[in-house]
Structure 1
Amino acid sequence: MPYLSEPDQDDMESYPENGLTLLPLVGVMQFAILEAPSASPATAVAVAPVEGTAHTLHTVLTEATGRDDSQGFIVLEGALGRRERKVMTAAYERLRQSLIHDGTLVEHGADQLRLTRTYVFDSPSSAASVLAGGSKNGRDEWKDVHGRSLKENQERAAETEVHRPADDTE
């Protein structure tokens, strides 16, 4: 392995940080740090606003707000979940334990956990299951302010897209 001097190593370590700062400018949002609009962490490389229709999760001891996004399902900081674990898949259990271990989920009172930062879950089901402490179908559980499920809103959006007239501006 070739040897790099200490100054050269320092220079090399700055490249990823600089690159991550520039990626959102060219539309690559996979590495953006998502935060609620009021948050402004001092160590953030790039902060992407959390946009989209808000959906809430209300189950036993669980209250959360999230948004569906191309990167996953974003749950906002401050969400409350059930501390007691019910039946869930091994993958959701590992994720829940990992979030507890790294401090993303912390104890809140005797019966709940609280999300300490905005977090991007792989899916609405993983978000609902991890927070509720048991397996949930996230597309059915997350509801908008009108009581419509995420599934209903996604289907309505798909129908609207299919029936939209072609743009003849050529």
Structure 2
Amino acid sequence: MGKTIKIYLPDESVAGIRHAEIANWSGQALACPRSRFQELREWPEVQRPGVYFLLGVDDATGSDAVYIGEAEVVIDRLASHVTGKDFWTEVVAFTSKDENLTKAHVRYLESRLVEIAKQAGRYQVTNFASPQLPSLPRSDRDAMEEFLGAAKMLLGALGHKVLENLVLRPKRSNSLDQTPAVESLVDANIGSVAVEQKPYGPAVFHLRVAGIHARSMRTDEGMVVLEGSDANATTYKSLTSSMAALRQVLIESGTLAVSKAKLRVTRDHLFKSPSQAAGILAGYSINGRECWKLEDGTTYAQFETQQSNLLLEDPAPKERSGTA
């Protein structure tokens, strides 16, 4: 089911303050760069209970970082972070248009948002501790879970995929050789998700070179190498300098960890292209479009060609010629 998102730019600047909402949703979001924080005080939308994301880059690691918080009056809490936290450059705050969010509600949202952000693993979550999940009546919990789903969507539309998993995890994933069913996948944010079987749906590719075996999934963002995949322990001279540098960063961050005579991918990781993913795992320059293959031997390049051909086919039935 599609959604309609409206983003209002009060000064016609895509980098300035933005008010965002989803049609038929009681929530709303305000995104504001740190440099425009004083202007945010003029918005009544942040003069009420809500949750917020402080977004920036960690100086030590250079990785995207986020702090997630809650407050009964959002703007008052944000004011304390202007002097208390240095890393953030933008804030996105979520409140309710009907003012029905209570302190217990926003505490619940904060706890779940921290949990979801950590599971997604895209940003370094700078909260010192995971907030305790408060007790809410079942109806309120369900309402807050719906709020979370909309907030996740809106935050992504505003350019921050803090809550988005890199891939929907296979429901059956007992071994590296098992190709997951696409009919039932698991999203850490919303549990099991039914996925319609389509010829252009999720596909798992395998890389078997130099004694390693890795798995990846083709997504809208690029190639996601799945946790548990192998990588070569040796970096060869043929690997480009940029790939070698990224490989070293992944080793230092623990994304690639020593496992006996190989390296092991410790968490899902997004690469820009099949060749970048294959090269960094193999340790040398390699054509990923030819080396990543489905279980039936179809290469990544052949797979894309097949999908293009399917899209070019005329889906409308051809009319019969002649008379009845």
**Shorter chain as normaliser: what TM range?**
0.7 to 0.9
Q: Establish whether residue 139 from structure 1 lines up as the match of residue 289 from structure 2.
A: yes
Query: What SS does the corresponding residue of 2:298 show, helix, strand or coil?
Result: coil
1:98 is aligned to 249
SS of residue paired to 2:247: helix
- Paired with 2:210 and 2:307, the residues of 1 have a C-alpha distance of 29
More helix by share: 1
Name which of 65, 70, 73 aligns with 2:223: 73
Corresponding residue for residue 77 of structure 2: 7
Equivalent pair of 1:61/1:132 in contact (CA under 8 Å):
no
Which residue number in structure 1 is paired with residue 153 of structure 2? Answer: 24
Give the alignment's Cα RMSD to 1 decimal. 3.8
* Alignment match, 2:214: 64
TM-score, normalized by length of structure 1? 0.77
Kindly state the Cα deviation for residue 17 of structure 1 after the two structures are TM-superposed. 7.7
Structure 1 residues 101 and 17 mapped into 2: Cα distance closer, same or farther (>3 Å)? farther
Helix, strand or coil at the partner of 1:33: coil
The amino acid across from 2:210 in the alignment is V
CA distance in 2, matches of 1:156, 1:30: 32
TM-score by length of 2: 0.42
Partner of 1:34: 166
Match of 2:304 in 1: 154
- Deviation at residue 152 of structure 1 after TM alignment: 0.2
Q: For the residues of structure 1 that align with 2:243 and 2:190, how far apart are their CA atoms?
A: 27
After TM superposition, give the deviation of residue 157 of structure 1 in Å. 0.6
Pick closer, same or farther for the CA change 1:17–1:82 going to 2, 3 Å.
farther
Distance in 1 between residues matched to 2:217 and 2:306, nearest whole Å: 16
- Paired amino acid for 2:232: R
Q: Look up the match of 1:41.
A: none
Q: Name which structure has the greater RCO, CA cutoff 8 Å, separation 6+.
A: 1
Give the Cα–Cα distance (whole angstroms) in 1 for the partners of residues 204 and 232 of structure 2: 21
Q: Is the 8 A contact 1:24 1:46 kept in 2?
A: no
Runs of 5+ consecutive residues of structure 1 not aligned to the other structure? 39-44
8 Å contact kept, 1:56–1:142: yes
Give 1 or 2: higher strand fraction: 2
Q: Return 5+ residue gaps in structure 2 as ranges.
A: 1-34, 42-74, 83-87, 95-112, 118-147, 172-187, 194-200, 318-324
Distance 1:113 1:90 in 2: 20
Question: Cα gap change, 1:107/1:68 in structure 2, threshold over 3 Å: closer, same or farther?
Answer: same
- Once the 2 structures are TM-superposed, how far is the Cα of residue 33 of structure 1 from its aligned partner? 3.0
Q: Which amino acid aligns with 2:221?
A: Q
Q: Aligned-pair distance for 1:163?
A: 1.4
How far 1:91 moved relative to its partner?
A: 1.3
- The count of residues paired between Structure 1 and Structure 2 equals 161
Return the index of the structure with the highest Cα Rg.
2
Distance (Å, rounded) in 1 between the aligned partners of 2:277 and 2:286: 9
